[in-house]
Amino acid sequence: MIKFLLELALTVWRSIRKPVGVPVPIPAEPAANADRGFYLDARQIRVVRGLRGAYEAAVKLVGGLPWQALAAIHYRENEFALRSTTPGGPFQLDPGGEGPDLRRRIEAYEDLVRKAYGIDGGSIETDLAFAALVAAHELRGKIRTELTRDEIADGDVLADALWGYNGRAPFHTSTGTADDKDWSWRWSPYVANDPKRGVVLRLRGTIPDASVPGGRRAIDRPDGRPGAFVVYRELIDRGGELA
């Protein structure tokens, strides 16, 4: 019952205003001139290799997640930086709200995670290991279907969970309208964007920004970055470089 109430509370605090995407047509095949290479450069691979221990420790505590998924979120949210200029830490936890209210919600979420895993102290703003645990816990809570027995997430299951981490916008659909039945992670730039293979979705929504009135800044632009699931698959493919 305690676990159920904890998960219920975490669900209530989930983000509802993270950047969301408006789709553009996706070609059936990659563009003829598309670069089929990887997105991460040698420096970024070195960073991932150095942070792998923190990712692995977090997913071990939470259970049932591949560490590469956490690294993919870290890339997508902050391009592997250890600090963030906006509230939410390097994995950009965003439980909604603005200014002091956003910070209060983040602190409440941190406290819930500390209690869940018996941890004293820690802040997502200054402690990468704790930030990774918070992100892993949030991602694990977004899984709606059981994982495979070897605990390597099934593709659709993990992609859907990554979509959940970003808020599952109701107009992530083939037409970009909320009444479309084709509601899926495949229309989320956060998850599925893959410009090198012709998949470019539009990023639209608000993000925390203390420099503007109200504490949140609107964005509306094509997304030039790879989605988290695309980065996850790249990290799997490049496992030899990360050992």
Asked if the structure places residue 74 within a domain, the reply is: yes
Residue 3 covered by a domain: no
Q: pLDDT tens, 67-83?
A: 999 999 999 999 999 99
User: Does the pLDDT at position 7 exceed 60?
Assistant: no
Of the ranges 1-10, 79-88, 210-219, which is most confident? Answer: 79-88
**183 found inside a domain:** yes
Q: Which domain holds residue 201?
A: 17-23+38-242
| Domain count of the fold of the chain | 1
Confidence of residue 192 (pLDDT cuts 50, 70, 90): very high
Residue 205 lies in a domain: yes
Residue 11 lies in a domain: no
- How far is C-alpha 107 from the geometric centre of its chain's CA atoms? 19
Q: Does pTM top 0.75 for this prediction?
A: yes
pLDDT digits (tens, 9 = 90+) for 208-223: 777 888 777 888 888 9
